[in-house]
Amino acid sequence: MTFDDTFDRVKTRSSKWTAMETGFGLTGDDLLAMWVADMDFRAPDFLTDATRGLAQAGDYGYFNHVDSYFEAVAWWAATRHGWEIEPGWITPAASLGNAIAFAIQTWSRPGDGVAILTPVYHEFAKKIRKNKRVITELPLLAEHGRFTLDFGRYDALMCGTEKILILSSPHNPGGRVWSREELRAIADFARRHDLVLISDEVHNDLILPGFTHVPTALAAPDAAPRLVTMTSASKTFSIAGSRLGAVIIGDEVLRRQFADTVSRADLAPNLLGVALSRAAFTPEGAAWLDALIPYLAGNFEVFRTGMGRIPGVDVHRLEGTYLAWVDFTGTGMTDAELWARATEQARVVPSPGPAFGTGGSGGLRFNLGTQRARIDEAVGRLGRAFADLQ
Ligand SMILES: Cc1ncc(COP(=O)(O)O)c(C=O)c1O
């Protein structure tokens, strides 16, 4: 298999390719889906073999090998990220979306504040609101084609009711890989305001050449008594449908509190998730990932070169993730006009910037986790849709 092989995800009923009507009211076979954060590659053989193994065994009953998942997560954290963890620090959750909701429920009450660094993964805000907590937005600065932290403003923006800060590291949608110093500053801020720091590291393996992801736990060891790290194989291997994530907590008190929420919901990992994640967090998985990264870097170069030709458009450098942020504010267009040009003229469907909160206006997020031919096609179409600016 090569990453260039075509793969029809309409047939597999993927959300990315078949939910654009429910998501945005968009219909038509010509639409190019570049929104939902999963990739368009057929699963590699070691994952298909794992599911085949399950089918051949013919036993889908209750099972007793979740420990092997914890060991695989710990092996991966040590070998890929230099982070030694105990398998016993892990509590499983049904996806990281689920883990974030449980974290909000564990460490805050209705009416409490939860801080987020915006623009950020839109589901953080949705989950805070659905759980009847209040969002405190700490906007990032967009400077020279990258988002940076703006600590000069953050203390004054806090209301005093906040109990939690949720961080996306690497950052979705900005594609930033936070440095050790930035992570330390975030951990310091959490300590000053006595917040539980949720470090959502779901994109931690998708790091472009020249950058290194540092787990928050390593950048800020002092934060351990307030730190909750979340990882998963779901983005790296595009297995989000198997709904499994790892919540890694070194601190015993926090771990017990989180495990209690999970236990009250009677939640336990599912068989498919364990089989796929176990097969992913292996040397075969590492070799596949090592081949994927240069492909994604190549996609970004094609995208950046093409989009960079449109006057007033600033493509943020992709340091990590496969989600490229494009700042169109220099074009002077409204969000409605940008959206219309992308989706109606170019028939390309990115994620709308305003969905990511304050600082998202004037931007669009494009998912580059797809075949190179689709990136070429998208860049060509978008170039034509904005051709009057040239
Ligand atoms: C930062 C971040 N956290 C969590 C998730 C959701 O992960 P999961 O599929 O494990 O719920 C996403 C998906 O895009 C994400 O970008």
Distance from residue 385's CA to the centre of ligand 1 (Å): 31
Distance from residue 273's CA to the centre of ligand 1 (Å): 15
- In contact, 98 and 240? CB cutoff 8 Å: no
What pLDDT does 390 receive? 72
Which is the closest atom of ligand 1 to the Cα of 99?
11
Q: Report pLDDT digits (tens) over 276-287.
A: 999 999 999 999
Placement of tokens 């000069």 in the chain: 152
Q: Report pLDDT digits (tens) over 26-85.
A: 999 999 999 999 999 999 999 999 999 999 999 999 999 999 999 999 999 999 999 999
Which is the closest atom of ligand 1 to the Cα of 37?
14
What pLDDT does 339 receive? 98
Helix (H, G, I), strand (E, B) or coil at 334: coil
- Please choose, from the candidates 100, 112, 68, the residue with its C-alpha nearest in 3D space to the C-alpha of residue 87: 68
Q: Best substitution site from 34, 73, 235, 237 to test ligand 1's pocket, by max atoms within 8 Å of Cβ?
A: 235
Residue nearest ligand 1's atom 7 by CA: 96
**What residue type is 155 in one-letter code?**
D
Please give the average per-residue pLDDT across 241-264, as a whole number.
Answer: 98
Mean pLDDT, the chain, as a whole number? Answer: 97
- In contact, 236 and 296? CB cutoff 8 Å: no
- In contact, 9 and 3? CB cutoff 8 Å: no
Reported as a pLDDT band with limits 50, 70 and 90, residue 242 is: very high
CA dihedral 380, 381, 387, 388 (to 10 degrees): 180
Distance from residue 83's CA to the centre of ligand 1 (Å): 21
Distance from residue 97's CA to the centre of ligand 1 (Å): 6
Is 245 a residue whose pLDDT tops 90? yes
- In contact, 369 and 40? CB cutoff 8 Å: yes
**What residue type is 357 in one-letter code?**
G
**What residue type is 256 in one-letter code?**
R
Which is the closest atom of ligand 1 to the Cα of 36?
14
- In contact, 275 and 54? CB cutoff 8 Å: yes
> What is the distance between the alpha carbons of residues 31 and 34, in angstroms, rounded to a whole number?
9
Q: Report pLDDT digits (tens) over 7-18.
A: 999 889 999 999
Please give the average per-residue pLDDT across 344-359, as a whole number.
Answer: 98
Q: Ligand 1: list residues with CB < 6 Å.
A: 37, 95-97, 121, 168, 172, 200, 202, 232, 234, 240, 245
Characterize the bridge pairing of strands 323-327 and 314-315: antiparallel
